[in-house]
Amino acid sequence: MKHRRPLPLSALTASLLFALATPAQAQDKVELDLPGSSLDKALNALARQSSVQIIFASDLTAGKTTQALKGRYTPQQALSQLLERSGLKTRVRDDHTFIIVPAPTLEPAAIKPAEVEYIAPMVIRGDVLGSATDPEVLAYPGSRSMVKDADLQKASVRGVDDALQRVPGVKIFDETGTGALPQISVRGLYESRSGRVQALSDGIPLALAPYGQTGLSLFPVTLATVDRIDVVRGGAAVQYGPNNVGGVINFISKPIPKQWETTLQERTTFNAGGHQLWDTYLGTGGYLTDHFGLQLDLNTLNGDTAREHSDSDIQNYRLRGQWNIDDDRDLSFGVQHYEADMDLAGALSVKDYKDDPRQSTRPLDRFEGDTDRVWGTYTQQLGAMGPFDSVAFSWTNFAHNSYRNFVVGLPFTPDGAAVTQQDGPRDFKVWGSEPRLSMIIDGDRLSQTWLLGARYVREDIDYKVNRQSLATGKTTPFRDWTFDDEAKAFYVSNAIGLLDNRLTITPGVRYENATMHYDDGITGFQHENKSEEWLPGLTVGYQASDDWFVYANAQKSLRPPQVTQIVKEGDVGAELAWNYETGVRYTPWQGLRVDVGLYRIDFSDQIVYNATIDRFVNLGSTRHQGIETEVFWTPSALPDLDLHASYAYLDAKQRNGAFKDNEVPFASRNQFNVDGRYHFAEHWTYSLDGLFVSSAYTDAANTGSEDATASVGKLPAYWVWNTAIERQFKLQDHSVLTASAGVSNLFNREYYFRGIDTSPWGRQPAPQRSLTLGLNYRF
């Protein structure tokens, strides 16, 4: 039986090369100028210039030389060139760490120069999604896409939600142009404030209440603090629950650099009408000792977006830490304060939209909120235990104290005078704890990776609505609700590896038990609602060849009743869905990758209000099915050109009720994205991207024409193009200055949304053309 252990580098004269800046992603191209020299000097130069770690024993490289290498390459591409005909190969530990090892002895005709072998990380992680590195994404048995740092940092990207539109199956409704109040739909699953999306930040839930209030009506994530976004649309329901019918979106932070580094950044967006939005970022951090590192992020957004009544003030302060206690134990932690104060321009009547879509006729609408968050994860490698070759334990805890309030004028008629001002302050106190245990049996013919976990979440929610008569100034409490929620979950899965781990079969099951207590402070009515479900799942991944990876999965998912749905008598159960996927990833040669996936979601027991009996009941049912594909291509004749395209076809139908067989509201049948990035003249990068979204109905009746208030009616299809250019200056003191410019909505395409939360009637104008100028100084 095989036992995994660290490489015996202590017995060798080893080299461990650390980056002097933020580590580069393994698939990000960097400008290299490596001299023709001894192999060990070339590897040292590569590590310095690409900011990755390369681990090798000096006796492996002794006496070996390599040719000079100059141009733009990923670290893996450069290693492949340097190690050609050296008898060595690369093992990829993670995106930032490479290990040079002897290549296996084969017949000469069978040797592939510097073959790259992907291996599991040396440290066991109790997480089916891992660190979201390229090798992990390529071998994941489900639909999964990555939005990388290069895509996020384009000057034409307004916010993290804007960047998500390159992912097939993800649609956004951009209300503010800042990303502060995202409206995200995945595979036609939509609810106001992204209520049907499970969003995480470094694996920690972002929802105000992960069970009772899944929407993102307070979103403590800003673009400058995100390194990449991992979008998992299927296959993760056993570990990541609840509210995972459409998958999981994980916003991953920039890593803490080994050497202390500071970044100063300013981005200014210029909109028509003389409006500017200033995005200021200061990030500083690194390792204070060999084992302890800190990262401080300070990010503010101030100014106005494209429309009148859009003044925004957002502050995001965060401190993260990493303590590698010893070889077997580590602790990661973070604290954050976030606050937002924004005027909301709201929707317009059809006439006002045609007159001037930049105007606002809802002067009372605004939003305010703040949150204090703390989290930590302790991990310990326990080594071999009993029949298991490796055992690891992790324990994650998180808590937040949040407040948010939407102030609106009533009625919602966009061109009418308000007679009432309504505010809806809500307070959330949430605490969660999740221990996990992962255990590996690494046999000669069969391997097993057991994952056992549990989660406990407690939520205390104060939910108020007050209404003030603008004529008399009298304020009347309209709602005074309190909720006390308690949720427990347990899950177990076993990844069974066969055929030299080329075939992995993972059965698993999750148990959810949620109890919600409701108390009406005005009427005195009290109610308790309990829901529990067993959620089985099965995923299969098969590395059929070096070029082909095939996957399939079937999983049961749920979304628990929301607190606003248990305020009537009667029991309401969780909304349930069966998700099915199958797909392939095809990589015929370096520089080309094609992903194709098919899916079907049978979403039943959706909670709807029955006015006849004045209760919420589980009656709604929809079916979502479609195809999603992505293509990544770097032509060998033009290695400085990176091309990407994605397409999503969606067939989403209602399956019961008076509107059976009608399309699901807000679900667009076709979505197409194309983007390209060209590096030229050594330090210049130009990008161009386009997005097409087809039309969609906005009500269950599939009403085509707008009514008098424009509360229903078909949304138009639209094409939007964006472009950006940047220039990087490498200064003599090894600091880097990057200047960028970008234009969003290049051709100023006018289009609109409808049904946005606090202004549901009328046309909600999408952001018009804007120019963003940016400076980033890293030292």
CB atoms within 10 A of CB 311: 16
The larger pLDDT score, comparing residue 123 to residue 153, is at 153
Please state, in angstroms and rounded to a whole number, the distance separating the CA atoms of residues 415 and 360.
10
pLDDT band at 121 (very low <50, low <70, confident <90, very high): very low
pLDDT the model gives residue 57? 66
Q: Taking 50 as the threshold, does the pLDDT of residue 3 lie above it?
A: no
* Residue 48 dihedral angles phi and psi, to the nearest 5°: -65, -45
Kindly tell me if the per-residue pLDDT of 30 is higher than 90: no
Supply the pLDDT for residue 594.
98
Tell me the mean pLDDT in the region 519-525: 96
**pLDDT above 80: residue 417:** yes
pLDDT at 376: 98
Tell me, what's the pLDDT at 59?
Answer: 60
The CATH superfamily label for domain 250-464+476-778 reads: TonB-dependent receptor, beta-barrel domain (2.40.170.20)
* Total H helices, total E strands in the chain: 7, 41
Beta strands 198-201; 248-253: pairing state: parallel
pLDDT band at 607 (very low <50, low <70, confident <90, very high): confident
| Measured distance CA(542)–CA(334) in Å, rounded | 37
Task: Give the per-residue SS3 of 484-540.
Answer: EEEEEEEEEEEEEEECCCCEEEEEEEEEEEEEEEEEECCCCCEEEEEEEEEEEEEEE
- Kindly state the average pLDDT of the residues 341-356: 97
Listed in sequence order, the DSSP H helices in 27-86 are 39-50, 58-61, 75-82
The candidate with the shortest Cα–Cα distance to 246, out of 184, 202, 180, is 184
Q: What's the pLDDT at 22?
A: 39
Of 57-61, 378-382, 625-629, the range with the lowest mean pLDDT is 57-61
Supply the pTM of this predicted model. 0.85
pLDDT value at 19 more than 50: no
Mean pLDDT estimate for the chain? 90
Q: What is the pLDDT of residue 58?
A: 60
pLDDT at residue 529 tops 70: yes
- pLDDT of 118 above 50: no
> In this predicted structure, what is the pLDDT of residue 95?
61
Architecture of the domain delimited by 9-118: 3-Layer(bab) Sandwich (3.55)
Pick from 569, 557, 459: nearest CA to 515: 459
- What does the pLDDT look like over 591-605, one tens digit per residue? 999 999 999 999 999
Look up residue 110 and give its amino acid: A
pLDDT tens string 67-78: 778 777 888 888
* Strands annotated E in 142-260: 144-147, 170-172, 184-186, 198-201, 204-205, 226-232, 248-253
Q: Which of 399, 449, 352 is nearest to 709 (CA)?
A: 352
Q: Sorting pLDDT into bands at 50, 70 and 90, what band is 97?
A: confident
Q: Using CB atoms within 10 Å of the CB of residue 625, give its burial: 0 to 12 exposed, 13 to 18 middle, 19+ buried.
A: middle
Say if residue 88's pLDDT is above 60: yes
Share of the chain above pLDDT 70, in %: 92
Residue-level pLDDT at 270? 98
pLDDT at residue 294, as a whole number: 98
Spatial distance between the Cα atoms of 651 and 86, rounded to a whole number of angstroms: 53
How many Å apart are CA 190 and CA 122, to the nearest integer?
A: 40
Residue indicated by tokens 């649609």? 171
Tokens read off for 489: 């979950």
Tell me whether the CATH fold assigned to 9-118 matches the one assigned to 134-249.
Answer: no
Residue 424 confidence class, pLDDT cut points 50, 70, 90? very high
Q: Of 43-47, 61-65, 82-86, which range is least confident?
A: 61-65
- Token digits for 267? 């981005």
Residue 37 has pLDDT above 60, yes or no: yes
pLDDT band at 487 (very low <50, low <70, confident <90, very high): very high
Segment 175-194 mean pLDDT: 93
Q: Where are the domains of the chain?
A: 9-118, 134-249, 250-464+476-778
The tens digit of pLDDT for each residue in 257-266 reads 999 999 999 9
pLDDT of 269 above 60 = yes
CA-closest candidate to residue 69, choices 11, 132, 114, 20: 114
Q: Note the CATH number of domain 134-249.
A: 2.170.130.10
Question: Which stretches does DSSP call E strand in 611-744?
Answer: 615-633, 641-654, 670-680, 684-693, 718-730, 736-744
